[in-house]
């Protein structure tokens, strides 16, 4: 709800006027950059007069790329973003309790696998965090998918040398905007935390190994999206060749005039033609950042944690039942009628020669579970948790900045409890906006978990330590005890959570420490 006009603020490109929402000054769709297709971003064009920043005006092109879901889950996350899809999407939203002062800054990077999503939905509304913790919240839109990560360097030469990383260069530009402008919004540019969920966690991981991002943030939170490895130039060049062939051109410049809709329509077929990555459990994105030796000099957490961010405190964790949302369209999994043979086929596709061992382990660990439930547990560990564990242990091995690990355990009771604690349920809990979604029953327990999570994230953003009065003492992560905070109605600490499953996937992936 918009109350009144917010104070006019002077930015490096011009003045902006926002609106008061829940007593917080909100400035929406403020430009932080501009760019030609596939090119690095530049500073935003200056404007005269006062720019109205009261409505969401843009998000990245992404039509047709979001995964399908069950009809009954269509509004699970609340109202969707209706802003126009445009390549001029380098905008951010600022939420602040006041334009004077020097508050911690929390910069949110949205999910969507580097392919879709936006920062504009109600569940990412920053006013609740501002009111709860006296912080400034910034949420960022940027280029995605084929517009952000088409590696044309080998084909297009020097002019396109950064095309494979255009999207994450947008993120650097957004953080530079924060450095140069956030003080005018009551924020402290010397106390910036980046946080993100799913693909947003991958973006946080990526920024932790980008020299150009050094000094632009001081703490990091990765939620259900740890990136251990990113794309390599050879695979990126192969994908670019497939794209050029699809459009019948040999000159990379010709792609700069292809209609947006045609490029979006190419994403799925060219990704299929590229085939799986060599390490599919870790290399997750066909159109994602590329380790080019320059913008990205190395993988974020392989073979170890990037030394560049060794001094950055980190919080990292996952959802207990990540995969329920990904399997929601499969009736036999949704209704728990999957056969043992069907479950084995799906596990074999992931674990290969280790499939029988995986099946036996999860049957023993979950003796009362049906095949669908065991499949969800196994693939949550293989597709998500193993990456977070790898990041946590390699970061902890640096012995420079602390790491804290959590698991979101609270289960939504909706849909007869079939979702459990699914992927992305944590987003409105992070922002304390569960009432703006259809993801919970709004019980006292749900509200308590939201208050706990928001308070803990704010505490970390404020001083680099998440401990606060809403949780028991949360020890730093180490590979001896492996303490983990379980986020539930009654939060608690457990050492080596689901340890046997951890050991299994570490042995399969070769990441044992």
Cβ neighbour number for residue 460 with a 10 Å cutoff: 25
- The secondary structure element, H or E, covering residue 93 is strand 91-96
Largest interatomic CA distance in the chain: 67
**Is residue 399 left, alpha or beta, with left meaning phi > 0 and alpha meaning psi from -120 to 50?**
left
Residues 477 and 396: their CA atoms lie apart, in Å, by 7
DSSP bridge pairs for 10 = 15
**Could you give the residue numbers annotated as active site?**
198, 322, 423
Residues 356 and 307: their CA atoms lie apart, in Å, by 38
Residues 409 and 318: their CA atoms lie apart, in Å, by 9
Cβ neighbour number for residue 368 with a 10 Å cutoff: 5
Residues 95 and 272: their CA atoms lie apart, in Å, by 40
CB 488 within 8 A of CB 497: no
Cα 56 from chain centroid? Answer: 20
User: What burial class does residue 259 get, using C-beta atoms within 10 Å of its C-beta: 0-12 exposed, 13-18 middle, 19+ buried?
Assistant: exposed
Q: How many helices (H) and strands (E) does the chain have?
A: 15, 13
Peptide bond into 303 cis (omega under 30): yes
Cα 10 from chain centroid? Answer: 30
Cβ neighbour number for residue 262 with a 10 Å cutoff: 11
DSSP bridge pairs for 348 = none
DSSP bridge pairs for 26 = 19, 95
Cβ neighbour number for residue 72 with a 10 Å cutoff: 12
Residues 440 and 76: their CA atoms lie apart, in Å, by 9
Dihedral angle sign, alpha carbons of residues 467, 455, 493, 312: negative
Residues 119 and 30: their CA atoms lie apart, in Å, by 12
Spatial neighbors of 364 by CB under 8 A, at least 6 apart, are none
């Amino acid at each position: 709800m918009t109350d009144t006009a917010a104070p006019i603020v002077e930015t490096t490109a011009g003045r902006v006027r926002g609106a008061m929402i829940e007593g917080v000054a909100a400035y929406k769709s403020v430009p932080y950059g501009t760019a030609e297709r596939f090119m690095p971003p530049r500073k935003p064009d200056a404007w005269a007069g006062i720019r109205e920043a009261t409505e969401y005006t843009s998000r990245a092109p992404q039509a047709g790329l979001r995964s399908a879901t069950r009809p009954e889950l269509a509004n699970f996350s609340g109202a969707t973003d209706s802003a126009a899809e445009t390549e001029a999407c380098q905008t951010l939203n600022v939420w602040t309790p006041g334009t004077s002062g020097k508050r911690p800054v929390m910069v949110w990077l949205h999910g969507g696998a580097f392919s879709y999503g936006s920062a504009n939905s109600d569940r990412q509304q920053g006013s609740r965090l501002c009111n709860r913790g006296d912080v400034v919240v910034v949420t960022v839109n940027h280029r995605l998918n084929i517009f952000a990560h088409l590696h044309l360097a080998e084909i297009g030469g020097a002019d396109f040398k950064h095309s494979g990383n255009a999207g994450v260069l947008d993120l650097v530009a957004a953080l530079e905007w924060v450095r140069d402008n956030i003080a005018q919004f009551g924020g402290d540019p010397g106390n910036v935390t980046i946080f993100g969920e799913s693909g947003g966690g991958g973006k946080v991981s990526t920024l932790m190994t980008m020299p150009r991002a050094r000094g632009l943030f001081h703490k990091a939170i990765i939620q259900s999206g740890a990136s251990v490895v990113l794309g390599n130039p050879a695979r990126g060049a192969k994908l670019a060749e497939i794209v050029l062939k699809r459009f019948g051109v040999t000159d990379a410049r010709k792609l700069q005039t292809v209609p947006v809709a045609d490029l979006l329509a190419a994403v799925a077929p060219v990704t299929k033609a590229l085939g799986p990555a060599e390490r599919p459990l870790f290399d997750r994105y066909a159109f994602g950042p590329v380790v080019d030796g320059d913008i990205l000099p190395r993988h974020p957490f392989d073979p170890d944690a990037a030394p560049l961010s060794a001094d950055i405190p980190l919080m990292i964790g996952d959802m207990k039942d990540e995969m329920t949302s990904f399997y929601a369209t499969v009736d036999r999994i949704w209704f728990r009628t999957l056969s043992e043979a069907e479950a084995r086929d799906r596990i074999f596709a992931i674990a290969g020669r280790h499939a029988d061992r995986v099946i036996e382990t999860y049957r023993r660990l979950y003796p009362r579970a049906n095949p669908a439930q065991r499949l969800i547990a196994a693939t949550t560990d293989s597709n998500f948790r193993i990456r977070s564990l790898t990041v946590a242990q390699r970061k902890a091995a640096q012995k420079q900045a602390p790491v804290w690990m959590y698991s979101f355990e609270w289960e939504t009771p909706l849909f007869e409890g079939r979702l459990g604690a699914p992927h992305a349920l944590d987003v409105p809990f992070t922002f304390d906006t569960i009432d703006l979604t259809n993801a919970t029953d709004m019980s006292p327990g749900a509200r308590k978990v939201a208050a706990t999570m928001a308070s803990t994230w704010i505490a970390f953003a404020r001083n680099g330590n998440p401990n606060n009065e809403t949780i028991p003492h949360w020890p730093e992560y180490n590979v001896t005890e492996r303490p983990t905070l379980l986020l539930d109605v009654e939060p608690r600490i457990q050492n080596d959570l689901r340890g046997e499953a951890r050991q299994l996937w570490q042995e399969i992936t070769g990441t044992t420490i």
